[in-house]
Structures are given as structure tokens and as C-alpha cells.
Amino acid sequence: MESLSNRKKVLEQKPMNFWERMYLPAIIKGMRVTIRHFFKKKTTVSYPEVERPYSKNYRGMHSLKRDEEGRERCTACGLCALSCPAEAISMISAERKKGEEHLYREEKYAAVYEINMLRCIFCGLCEEACPKEAIYLDGPHVPADYLRKDFIYGKDKLVEEKFDVNLLEMANLK
Amino acid sequence: METAFIIEKFVLITIVFVLTLVIAMYSTLAERKVAGFMQDRKGPDRAGPFGILQPLADGGKFFFKEEIIPAGAHKSLFIAGPTIAIITACISSAVIPWGQQLTIGGRVIDLQVADINVGILYVFGVIALGVYGIMLGGWASNNKFSLMGAIRAASQSISYEIAMGLSIIALLMVTQTLSIKDIVAQQSGFVNWNIWVQPLGFIIFVTCAFAECNRVPFDLPECETELVGGYHTEYSSMKLGLYMFSEYINMFVSSAIMSALYFGGYNFPFMNDLGLSQNWITVIGVVVFFLKIFAFIFFFMWIRWTLPRFRYDQLMNLGWKILIPLAIANIVLTGVITLIKDTYW
């Protein structure tokens, strides 16, 4: 039958000649290949010391963002939980009290915000759903752990570190 | 026998024994490193700098593993298997001359544990005994895979011992002696090495040495793809460790024998023209001998990570139909050449 790809090669199966039957030349050839690899540059990445850069659109661990004044952006609307196909997100909302304006941006905030990292499929629908730009999957990958309960990440692990506004401004001025 | 002699031999035996074990230990690391390097990896490098503590970690792990003796196993033979394997591996190094004489305070010390005049036969006998370790272990396990591995080991080493013995006979026709010490002493310098007169015999001997050590491409007794683990399928803990250890000791000893028989042992080029004292030549000779041994061990590993395993019928074909006729041809050729040389020169 005609080959469609035109890449078909018919190999002749000739009986081996004396040199080929001796195998020694072939063995030496093979040894030359392996010794060449012996001196090649190694492709190993020594992981904890050296880390390969993540790709730009890598979706890793979630982080709950703060606004430019260091207040939590999340308003506990629940859209992320609703959009989550794995139902990994749950939250309990609370009303902002007087004097807490420097902590929470909106009048309603998430008192408890939990993501079950064993359920999460890192699809990124939560960050797409969020109207407040409060959640992003921009962290590193989720580390291993021993117990299932330790994979339910609360606000202590999710909320972004509070940054110093002055420092940020100084960096901007530069 | 005087006391000094006994002390001297005792010290020598201890040094050789410790060296053998340490080299076997580090061969395991070297094997993994070589494997890594040939596959563009780094190999183990976590335990200590460059992984030099890895053998200790491995050994410790072996000791802490649970020791299992299967219910249907023949208990005493099950224990005897690895014991015989490691003992025969260790005692075969007794006749290897590690160097010339050292003169310390007027005493001449031979760097050889036992200079017996049938050194090569002793080595052969001990190596042949080594297969009992594998055979007993495999049979006592009461496991079909183990038994298959053991049978393979037995038939393999019997087949290849013949070719090995025949290749040695050709060598003995050249050297006219069975004592390894004399054989090495004859090869002083560089041009007298036996490899130049017995190249074919050397190739046959190397091939058979691979087979005797159960190294790839002749590692059918422990062939993982077909036999789970071969003769040591049922072994765990340090008993398994002993089997593996004996394999590496065998590799070390056969490297030593190969370099002693064919590559001049402790002899190195221009050794008599340097104008050094006897003691210095001996010391350098020992170093050179070990360098040759390490080169051979590397060669063993190099082959291992280059060639695939033989099929069993290919193994038997190679042994009986190729190596043995070749070895016999080598004997005839050596005889003819020796005769011509003796008659006309």
C-alpha cells in the first residue's frame, strides 16, 4: 500500500557480516556513547537549593490580597465559592465594626475563609469570578503534609503579608 | 612459626580485609554515581559532600530493616546462603600480591597474604564455591523465582568457568607457573605485560569474569524483569545486603586478578629506571595496582550502563559455542607460537 506520509522506510534485513557478528565493534561504539554522556553537562536541578522558575501563568497557592492601604479586599460575597467547580472554598462573613476601617476595605468581610487544598483543582475560576480582585493563584505550589485537616488553609495562610505603605511609596518614587 | 611473622600476616590480612570491605562499600556509591553521570544525572549527592556518606546510610538502612525468613524456607540453609557468598568473596583475595617487598628495620615483608604455588587454582576453587551461596540461598527460599535464579546462576557459572579456565591455560603456557606472585613478577616494566601476548585470552577472561560476577550483561540470576529479584527475592535486611556486598567484593577481586594476570599487577612503566629505593617502588607499585583495579571496576560499571542483558539462550550460545571454541583455538595458537619460538629463536 502507498504510504500517505511519504516517510516510510523499508529496511533491509541483511544477515550480519563477520565484524557485526563479533559484537565487539558495536560494544565499543556503545561505550563511546555512554562515556560521552559521562562528561556531558548534567540536567539535574538540585531542588531545594536551586529552583526552576515558574511559568508566567502558573497557578499555584491562593493568596487573599490587600489594597494599597493594606486592608483586606475580600468582601465575602461568595462568588468564588459559587464558581468553584470542586467546592473547595467556604467562608463565614461578618460585618465590619467601627474602628476596623483600616483592616477591611468593604463593610462586609470574611471572618473565616477556608480553601481545602485537597479539593482545589487550581482552575483559577475563583480569581476570574472575584469582583474585588481579592484572590489570586499566584503563590508557590502547595507543600505536602501528613494530615487531611492540615490541607484546609485558613486566612492565616492565605491572606497576603501586610506590607508597609511608606516603603511601597518610596519604591514607587525611585 | 615466629611471632613476628604471625603479627605481620595478621596486620596484612586485616588491612586487606578492611580495604576490600571499604572498596566494596564505595563501589556501591561509585556504581550509582557512574550510572547517574552516564544518564546525565548527578547521582546521590545528599548524604555528605558529593554523597560520600551514602554507603553508610545504605548500610544503616539495611541493618534497621525487618528481617524476614519465609515460613516455608529451609532456615539454616537460608542463613547459610549469604554467609557462604560473602565468605568466599572475602577469602579469594588471599593470594593476590598487592606489591613487592617492603623492608622495615631489616625485615623483608611480602605484600601478599599467602604465596601458594597454585594461586590461580585456589582462586578458581573459591570462585566455584561462591556459586553455592547463590544456589543454597535460592533453593532454601522456597520460591519459584528464587529457584529459577539459582539454577540460572549455577548453569551460567559452570558454563563460563570452562571458558575462563581454558583462557587461563593459554596464559599458563606463557608464564609456566601457577603462582600469581611469579606471574606478576614476570611482567616487570611495560612491554612484558601478559596482555601483549594474550589479547584474545584476555577478552575471553574478561567476558567470563563478567559472567562469574553476575554483572550486566550476564546478570540473569537476578534479572528483575523476569524473576522479580532472582535468587534474592525472599531476602531482606542485611542478608540481602550481604549478597549485594559479595557481588561488589567479587567485582573488586576479579578486577585485582585481571590486572595481576594481564596488566602487570603492581608493575608500572620505567619502574627500574627511576633510581628509587625498593621501598618507594613498592609503595608506588601498590598505588599503581589499585589504580588499575579502580580502572577495571569503572570498566565493569561502564559496561553495565552500556549493554542490555542477554537472553538466556544467547548467554548459553555465547558461552558454549563461541567462547569455549575460541579459548581452545587460543590454546592451540599459543602452543604453536611457543613451539616456533623455542625451535627457531
Identify which has the larger pLDDT, B216 or A135: A135
Provide the 8-state DSSP code for A44: -
Nearest to A34 among B41, B45, B305 (CB): B305
Identify which has the larger pLDDT, B61 or A8: B61
The alpha carbon of residue A80 and the mean position of all alpha carbons in its chain are separated, in whole angstroms, by 18
- Dist. CA B288–CA B294, nearest whole Å: 10
* DSSP states along B198-234: -HHHHHHHHHHHHHHTT-TTS-GGG-HHHHTTGGGTT
- Dist. CA B241–CA B63, nearest whole Å: 9
**Chain A touched by B45 (CB under 8 Å):** yes
Is A42 in Cβ contact with B38 (below 8 Å)? no
Strands A63-64 and A135-136: antiparallel
- Dist. CA B265–CA B182, nearest whole Å: 11
So what's the pLDDT on residue B244?
Answer: 86
pLDDT at A146 over 90: yes
Residue A137: name the closest of A158, A161, A163 by CA: A158
So what's the pLDDT on residue A172?
Answer: 66
- Dist. CA A67–CA A168, nearest whole Å: 12
Q: Three-class SS of residue A164?
A: coil
Nearest to B42 among A34, A35, A42 (CB): A42
pLDDT digits (tens, 9 = 90+) for B91-131: 888 888 887 777 777 777 777 777 788 888 888 888 888 88
Chain B residues within an 8 Å CB radius of A24: 203
Distance between terminal CA atoms of chain B? 46
- The pLDDT-based confidence of A120 (bands split at 50, 70, 90) is very high
Joined grid coordinates for residue A98: 467601627
- The pLDDT-based confidence of A165 (bands split at 50, 70, 90) is low
Q: Which residues pair with A72 in a beta bridge?
A: A66, A104
B325 preceded by cis ω (within 30°)?
Answer: no
Compute the nearest-CA separation of B337 from chain A (Å). Answer: 24
Is B39 in Cβ contact with A37 (below 8 Å)? yes
Q: Which of A27, A39, A44 to mutate to test the interface with B (most CBs of B within 10 A)?
A: A44
Joined grid coordinates for residue B76: 539454616
**Chain B touched by A85 (CB under 8 Å):** no
Is A42 in Cβ contact with B41 (below 8 Å)? yes
Residue B93: name the closest of B75, B68, B113 by CA: B113
Q: Which of B34, B40, B304 to mutate to test the interface with A (most CBs of A within 10 A)?
A: B40
Chain B residues within an 8 Å CB radius of A35: 38, 302
B220, B62 Cβ separation under 8 angstroms = no
Is B34 in Cβ contact with A38 (below 8 Å)? yes
- The pLDDT-based confidence of A82 (bands split at 50, 70, 90) is very high
Nearest to B38 among A37, A41, A44 (CB): A37
Closest residue in chain B to residue A26, using alpha carbons only: B307
Give the amino acid at B87. Answer: I
pLDDT at A119 over 60: yes
- Dist. CA A135–CA A61, nearest whole Å: 10
Q: Which residues of chain B have pLDDT under 50?
A: none
- The pLDDT-based confidence of A13 (bands split at 50, 70, 90) is confident
The alpha carbon of residue A93 and the mean position of all alpha carbons in its chain are separated, in whole angstroms, by 28
So what's the pLDDT on residue B13?
Answer: 87
CA distances from A50 to A30, A45, A47, A53, B254 (A): 33, 6, 5, 9, 41
Chain A residues within an 8 Å CB radius of B45: 46
In our burial notation (b when 16+ CB lie closer than 10 A, e otherwise), range A74-87 reads bbbbebbbebbeee
Compute the nearest-CA separation of A40 from chain B (Å). Answer: 7
**Chain B (185-204) residues lying within 8 Å, Cβ to Cβ, of chain A:** 203
The radius of gyration of chain A's CA atoms, rounded to the nearest angstrom, is: 29
Chain A residues within an 8 Å CB radius of B31: none
- Dist. CA B207–CA B217, nearest whole Å: 10
Is B307 in Cβ contact with A30 (below 8 Å)? yes
**Chain B touched by A11 (CB under 8 Å):** no
The reported pTM is 0.79
**Which residues lie below 8 Å from residue B257, measured CB to CB, with a gap of 6+?**
B96, B123, B180, B209
pLDDT digits (tens, 9 = 90+) for A46-65: 888 888 888 888 898 999 98
